[in-house]
Amino acid sequence: MARHRLGEPRLAGRGGRPAVTERLTYSQAYRAGLAEEMTSNDLIFVMGTDILLRGGHFAQVFGLGERFGADRIRDVPISEAAMVAAGVGAALGGMRPVVDLNFLDFAFGGMDELCNQAAKIHYMFGIPVLFLMHKALTGVRGEVGGPADYIPFGLARIVREGGDATLIGYGATVRTCVAAAEQLAAEGVSAEVIDLRTLYPLDLETVTASLRKTGRAVMVDESPGYGGVSAEIAASLSEAAFDYLDGPVMRVHAPHSPVPQSRVLLEALLPGGGQVAAAARALIARG
């Protein structure tokens, strides 16, 4: 999980380990990072539905209401338009609001405020930022750094080194890539796994450097492929790293469909480690 501050990063960034390690779930890490920043910066406050007592729908701010009070962990009525507009306007007024939409599905209720207002305000004044936490990761544990550790935007992370193929993921698909890399390792294939961390700005430099080594790219995305992140990255890599590629940028992504409820359908829809490994094998088979 990344926290961001403008300025000098303390971590090495690409594959560097944090100075102090602790194992927290994503949700705990988010909470801890947010609490640290809220302690040192009075201008930060959170707006969202059901965050004061409940702590949000994924416990993402559980306990912070008690700690920081109702002004700074601020419940809002159900209006994404109002909460995003309040956030943009308050940021313009010098505060540092965090607008917690809880579910990305609800973002569409504030789409004008995000796309027409916030995006243009960003162009004019350099604020704000959209941060997405994958709901399936909230309970997943990993190492986190300490209060002085910051990761800048636009810096990918090399999760696992390898020389035969580059597996690229972000959010939940990083684990999918790691699972695929482990399958491939058992077959004597060494795969490098890259976590993009930020989609914009995108760290093409790290990915290109990896492709110089491996010549084979597999991009893994839970979204449908059409016009999505994987399409963008495949196009960008074809422009930036064509000479290093021994085959096309393979994409493993969801089909063009809403997400079904039934567990078997969901598993069939989401990219799995097996599919990613198969894509890597297909590239290797080309020679």
Partner 1 sequence: MSEAAAPAAEQIRAGAQSPPPGALRDWLEQMLVIRQFEAESVRLSLAGHIPGGIHSSAGQEGVAVGTARALGPDDVVSGTHRSHHHALAKGLTPREVMAELFGKADGCAGGRGGSMHLVDAGRHFLGSNGIVGAGLGLAMGAALAMKMRSQAAVAVGYFGDGGANTGRVWEFINLAALWKLPLIAVCENNLYAVETHISQAMAGESVAARAGGFGLPAETVDGQDVLAVYAAVRQARNRALDGQGPAFIEAQTYRYEGHNVGDVQNYREKSEVADWLESRDPIDRLRQRLAGQGELDDDGFAAATSRAADIVADAVAFAEASPWPDTASVNRAWPAAAAGRP
Q: Which residues bind partner 1 (CB under 8 A)?
A: 45, 71, 76-77, 79, 81-95, 112-113, 116-117, 120-126
* Nearest residue (CB) to partner 1, 52 versus 83: 83
**Dist. CA 214–CA 166, nearest whole Å:** 6
Comparing CB distances to partner 1, the nearer of 94 and 227 is 94
Q: Minimal distance in Å, beta carbon 275 to partner 1?
A: 36
Compute the distance between CA of residue 25 and CA of residue 179 in angstroms, rounded to an integer: 19
In degrees rounded to 5, what are phi and psi of residue 193?
A: -115, 125
Q: Assign 3-state DSSP to the chain and report helix, strand, coil percentages, each to 5.
A: 40, 15, 40
Tell me the closest approach of the beta carbon of residue 232 to partner 1, in angstroms. 16
Cβ neighbours around 258 below 10 Å, total: 8
What minimum distance in Å lies between the beta carbon of 94 and partner 1? Answer: 5
> In what helix (H) or strand (E) does residue 31 lie, and over which residues does it extend?
helix 26-40
**Nearest partner of 160 among 173, 178, 140, judged by Cα:** 178
Using the minimum distance from each CB to partner 1, give the nearer residue, 95 or 159. Answer: 95
Which residues, other chains included, contact 45 with Cβ-Cβ below 8 Å and sequence gap of 6+?
38, 68, 71, 72, 73, 74, 95, 96, 97, 98
Q: What's the length of the chain?
A: 287
Nearer to partner 1, 122 or 135 (CB): 122
DSSP state of 269: H
- Rounded to 10 deg, the angle between the 229-240 and 204-214 helix axes is 60
Query: Could you tell me the smallest distance in angstroms from the CB atom of residue 102 to partner 1?
Result: 17
User: Which single residue is written with the structure tokens 């839970």?
Assistant: 222
CA atoms within a 13 Å half-sphere pointing along the CA-CB vector of 192: 25
Distance of closest approach, residue 89 Cβ to partner 1, in angstroms? 2
Residue with Cβ nearer partner 1 (29 or 91):
91
Smallest separation (angstroms) from partner 1 to the CB of 9: 21
The residue among 91 and 279 lying less far from partner 1, judged by its C-beta, is 91
- Closest approach, Cβ 8 to partner 1, in A, equals 20
Q: How many CB atoms lie within 10 A of CB 45?
A: 19
Residue with smaller CB distance to partner 1, 21 or 79: 79
